Every structure is written in structure tokens, then in C-alpha cells.
């Protein structure tokens, strides 16, 4: 198939795509953001764009709406006759037949999300790393001798097991190439990081006392990350941003639908969410001056669809009954397996999912709030794009989920507003006249 050139304004993003590609797909390929709440199903009309008419010498393009396919029935339903005459089309329905310039109006752009997931403090037993999965141990390693031909690694592990009292320690393979240099740099005195009492994940020459962890909530709409000092449990930096998967659909089912209709769509969603997390890690490390090689542990929570996509698992089975999870168990693996930019030997943990649409985020809420320890009946509601509801006490807990975001944003996902500039944040009622106060309560 022949190629056509597409230029998006006001961003200036441009490139070539295959002829007969719809504008939304072209935007995704080239990295131009166009809002969609329905994942390109033609339901929301949020992806309305305008085709610029005329010759653009800078781009060597003569752009006209005639360079698109004829307006579909969906576009005739969703757009007025006047809009169609003025060159407005739905990006998910209009196919590109020849070179065009596409203007993305402000209302169709993906605006910066307002992040409200600040870190709070909970009473815990976190004392001097007591609840950390990692221990730091100072180790003196015997130097090599001609009459003792054992390898540096074997003597290092033997010394570490002797001092720690642990047995059958393993070592992250990525550390093998640096162990000899590290031992000699430290004059055979090193600091060892041991993960869950069985795996060596970091080695430093001499004495090392600082080590850090990452807590990440991958939400359908927003991602929140917190950098924690694992000596104290204190949060020292936080970052948040809109989940970049939003360009593939606002809610979970829209994203699953996109994957069903676009082979390889799951891989694209996995890549963009991991890249976003890496960007946030870079920002926090730059802000705090923390050494990347001390960022050893990370815990991720997410609803089941986000959980699967983050791990690189196709979530199609979650798109319909019986909503089967690929795995319900907790997951532990090396951060390098997920292409995350943490320490070389860093580890990642995801708590177990509870059911088809009640995920690791809900499990983390239960762990934090501990309703299973209470005599009182407790109701916990996590209101997000996908909401979880947990009810019970020490006798029994039950959980359910609901697509809250689409419900709040309009039953047909046509009339609603995310927490973006222009949204109402709160309403205050005057107790004397029972009227809404009319100022200073807008974003």
C-alpha cells in the first residue's frame, strides 16, 4: 500500500502512514494525542477534528476534506450538518486517502490530568527496616589464595551466609559480571542487600546504609509513584501523571475492545505505561539526588486489566464473562524483566488480585485499612475510573467492582468531564440560604 503524509496541528507532529488508515490510528502511530473515551468505537464523539483546507507550502501539502473517505453514518449521527461542511470529522471513523493537515481542537486534546493521589501516613510497625523485604549486611570476604582455588563468588556467598545465618543464598545473575571488581574496590569488605532472606540483589564496596523502594498505583486514568526511604518508611518524593493508555480508550472495556480490534494493541499499551513509570522514576531521582543503584525494591498495585498490561499479559479474557484472570496469585520478578530503570538487581512485587475485576489495588487497601482485624462492620470504597467496594469485618469480607468513571462521565460517555482544567472540583452549600456558594470553588 502507498503512504500518505499527515500533519497534526497545533502540535506540529507529522509523518507518513499507510493509505486508508483512520486519523485516530495515525495519531497513535505518530504520537499525536487525540482524546477518546470509547476507544475508537464511534460512541463518544470526543475525537472530533477539523481538516485544514488549502495549500501548505511548509509541508508541501494541499489539504482538503476530500482527501478523506466519505463521512460514515456514525459521523452523520454525531456531527451536525454544519460541522461536516466546515471540515469536522471523527478521527476514529475518517480514513486518510491523500495528504492532509489535521487540526486537533482544544476540546479534543488530552489535557494534563490533575493528580490527587498524595501519600498519607498510616500507623505501622515500620522500624529500622523491620518491615522491608531487604536486609543490608556488612560482609568481610576471605581473599583468594594459591592453595585455595575457590572462586570469588563462592567465597563471597559462604561469608555472607556465615554472617547472616542464612542458607542456600542465590544471587541475581546480572551481578556476576561486577562482583570481582566490587570485592577488590572494597578491599574485600562489602555491603550486601538480601531480598526476602534468599536472594542477593546488590553489592557495594565498603559500607552502604541507604536503600530505597518504589510504591506505584497504576490507575486506569492516573499513575501515582512514591519514592520511599526503606530505613524509615518515609516518602521522600512523589510524581503523578495521566496514564498514557488513555489514548486507546478512557475506560477498561474500551481498552480491551481496542486490543480485540487491533492485533498488537496490548503490546503498545504495555510499552507506554512502562515508559511513563520510567519517566517518573527519573524525575524523582533527579529531585532527590538518590543513586539509582540504591533503588532496590518496587511494589505495584493495579486493577486486573492494568495489572495484566503492565506485566505484558493480554487482558482479552477479562473483557467478558467469566472474567478469567491469567493469574490470581502475587507476582515477584526482577525489575529488569519489565525494562524498568531501577537498580541493576532490583525486585518487583505485585500483590494478588482478588477476582476478575477486583485487583491488587483492592488487596493493598485491605492490607492498609485492616478491616479483617475489626469487630465493626467496615465499608471501604475506592472511587476511580474503576471502583472497588469492600464490606466486612474479621468474620468475613466481600468485594465488588464498578465502572465508576463512565457512570460519572455520562451513561453513554458523551457528557462528562475528567479532573482536568475546567472541571468542578467541589461545591459548597451555604447552610443559611441552602444555596451553592458561587466563587473560588473551580479548578
Confidence of residue 191 (pLDDT cuts 50, 70, 90): very high
124 touches 233 (CB < 8 A): yes
Residue 127: per-residue pLDDT? 43
Most confident of 53-62, 252-261, 375-384: 375-384
DSSP-derived 3-state class of residue 280: helix
Confidence of residue 157 (pLDDT cuts 50, 70, 90): very high
Residue 416, pLDDT above cutoff 60: no
As separate numbers, helices (DSSP H) first and strands (DSSP E) second, the chain gives: 10, 22
Give residues with Cβ within 8 angstroms of 110, minimum separation 6: 33, 34, 35, 242, 246, 247
Lowest mean pLDDT among 72-76, 326-330, 358-362, 419-423: 419-423
Query: Of 55 and 330, which is predicted with more confidence?
Result: 330
- Domains for the chain: give ranges and CATH numbers: 3-108 (3.10.20.30), 134-205 (3.10.20.880), 212-364 (3.30.420.480)
Residue 19: per-residue pLDDT? 93
Residue 228: per-residue pLDDT? 93
Residue 3: per-residue pLDDT? 92
Residue 131: per-residue pLDDT? 57
Lowest mean pLDDT among 28-32, 119-123, 149-153, 258-262: 119-123
Question: Which run of H or of E encompasses 402?
Answer: strand 397-402
Most confident of 122-126, 151-155, 256-260: 151-155
Confidence of residue 123 (pLDDT cuts 50, 70, 90): low
Give residues with Cβ within 8 angstroms of 189, minimum separation 6: 138, 139, 140, 141, 205, 206, 207
Other CB atoms within 10 A of residue 55 CB:
12
pTM: 0.76
pLDDT tens for 44-61 read 888 999 998 887 777 788
Mean pLDDT to the nearest integer, 110-132: 57
> What are the residue ranges of helices labelled H in 186-264?
252-261
- CA dihedral of residues 250, 254, 260, 261 (deg, nearest 10): -80
320 touches 235 (CB < 8 A): no
Residue 108, pLDDT above cutoff 60: yes
Residue 441: per-residue pLDDT? 43
Residue 106: per-residue pLDDT? 74
Residue 442: per-residue pLDDT? 41
Residue 110, pLDDT above cutoff 90: no
Residues of the chain with pLDDT > 70, as a percent, come to: 89
Confidence of residue 118 (pLDDT cuts 50, 70, 90): low
Residue 128, pLDDT above cutoff 50: no
Residue 88: per-residue pLDDT? 94
pLDDT tens for 353-373 read 998 889 999 999 998 889 999
Confidence of residue 273 (pLDDT cuts 50, 70, 90): very high
pLDDT tens for 78-99 read 999 999 999 999 999 999 999 9
Residue 250: per-residue pLDDT? 67
Query: Of 442 and 438, which is predicted with more confidence?
Result: 438
pLDDT tens for 194-227 read 999 899 999 999 999 999 999 999 998 889 999 9
Residue 415, pLDDT above cutoff 60: no
Query: Of 417 and 345, which is predicted with more confidence?
Result: 345
Residue 109: per-residue pLDDT? 78
Query: Of 332 and 382, which is predicted with more confidence?
Result: 332
Residue 187, pLDDT above cutoff 50: yes
Mean pLDDT to the nearest integer, 176-196: 94
Most confident of 85-94, 142-151, 240-249: 85-94
Confidence of residue 42 (pLDDT cuts 50, 70, 90): confident
Candidates 173, 177, 171; CA nearest to 193 is 171
Mean pLDDT to the nearest integer, 245-269: 82
349 touches 338 (CB < 8 A): no
Average pLDDT of the chain, as a whole number: 86
Amino acid at each position: 500500500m502507498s503512504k500518505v503524509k499527515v500533519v497534526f496541528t497545533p502540535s506540529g507532529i507529522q509523518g507518513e502512514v499507510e493509505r486508508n488508515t483512520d486519523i485516530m490510528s495515525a495519531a497513535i502511530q505518530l504520537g499525536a494525542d487525540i482524546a477518546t473515551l470509547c476507544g475508537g468505537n464511534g460512541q463518544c464523539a470526543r475525537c472530533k477534528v477539523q481538516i485544514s483546507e488549502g495549500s501548505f507550502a511548509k509541508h508541501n501539502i494541499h489539504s482538503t476534506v476530500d482527501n478523506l473517505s466519505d463521512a460514515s453514518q456514525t459521523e452523520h449521527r454525531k456531527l451536525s450538518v454544519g460541522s461536516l461542511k466546515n471540515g469536522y470529522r471523527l478521527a476514529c471513523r475518517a480514513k486518510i486517502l491523500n495528504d492532509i493537515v489535521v487540526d486537533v481542537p482544544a476540546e479534543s486534546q488530552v489535557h494534563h490530568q490533575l493528580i490527587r493521589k498524595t501519600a498519607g501516613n498510616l500507623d505501622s510497625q515500620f522500624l529500622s527496616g523491620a518491615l522491608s523485604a531487604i536486609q543490608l549486611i556488612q560482609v568481610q570476604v576471605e581473599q583468594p589464595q594459591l592453595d585455595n582455588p575457590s572462586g570469588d563468588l563462592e567465597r563471597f556467598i559462604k561469608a555472607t551466609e556465615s554472617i547472616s545465618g542464612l542458607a542456600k543464598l542465590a544471587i541475581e545473575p546480572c551481578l556476576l559480571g561486577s562482583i570481582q571488581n566490587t570485592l577488590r574496590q572494597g578491599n574485600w569488605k562489602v555491603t550486601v542487600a538480601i531480598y526476602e532472606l534468599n536472594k542477593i540483589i546488590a553489592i557495594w564496596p565498603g559500607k552502604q546504609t541507604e536503600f530505597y523502594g518504589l510504591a506505584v498505583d497504576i490507575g486506569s486514568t492516573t499513575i501515582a509513584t512514591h519514592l520511599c526511604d526503606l530505613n524509615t518508611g518515609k516518602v521522600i518524593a512523589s510524581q503523578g501523571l495521566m496514564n498514557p493508555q488513555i489514548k486507546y480508550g478512557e475506560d477498561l472495556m474500551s481498552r480491551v475492545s481496542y486490543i480485540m480490534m487491533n492485533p498488537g494493541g496490548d503490546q503498545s499499551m504495555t510499552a507506554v505505561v512502562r515508559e511513563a513509570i520510567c519517566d517518573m522514576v527519573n524525575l524523582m531521582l533527579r529531585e532527590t539526588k538518590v543513586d539509582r543503584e540504591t533503588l532496590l525494591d518496587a511494589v505495584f498495585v493495579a486493577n486486573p486489566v492494568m495489572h495484566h498490561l503492565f506485566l505484558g499479559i493480554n487482558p482479552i479474557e477479562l473483557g467478558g464473562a467469566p472474567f478469567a484472570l491469567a493469574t490470581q496469585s502475587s507476582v515477584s520478578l526482577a525489575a529488569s524483566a519489565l525494562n524498568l530503570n531501577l537498580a541493576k538487581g532490583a525486585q518487583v512485587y505485585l500483590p494478588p488480585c482478588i477476582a476478575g475485576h477486583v485487583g491488587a489495588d483492592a488487596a493493598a487497601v485491605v492490607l492498609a485499612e485492616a478491616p479483617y482485624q475489626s469487630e465493626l462492620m467496615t465499608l471501604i470504597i475506592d472511587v476511580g475510573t474503576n471502583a472497588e467496594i469492600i464490606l466486612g469485618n474479621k468474620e468475613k469480607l466481600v468485594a465488588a467492582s464498578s465502572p465508576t468513571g463512565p457512570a460519572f462521565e455520562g451513561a453513554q460517555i458523551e457528557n462528562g468531564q475528567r479532573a482536568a482544567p475546567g472541571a468542578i472540583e467541589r461545591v459548597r452549600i451555604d447552610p443559611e440560604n441552602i444555596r451553592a456558594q458561587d466563587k473560588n470553588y473551580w479548578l
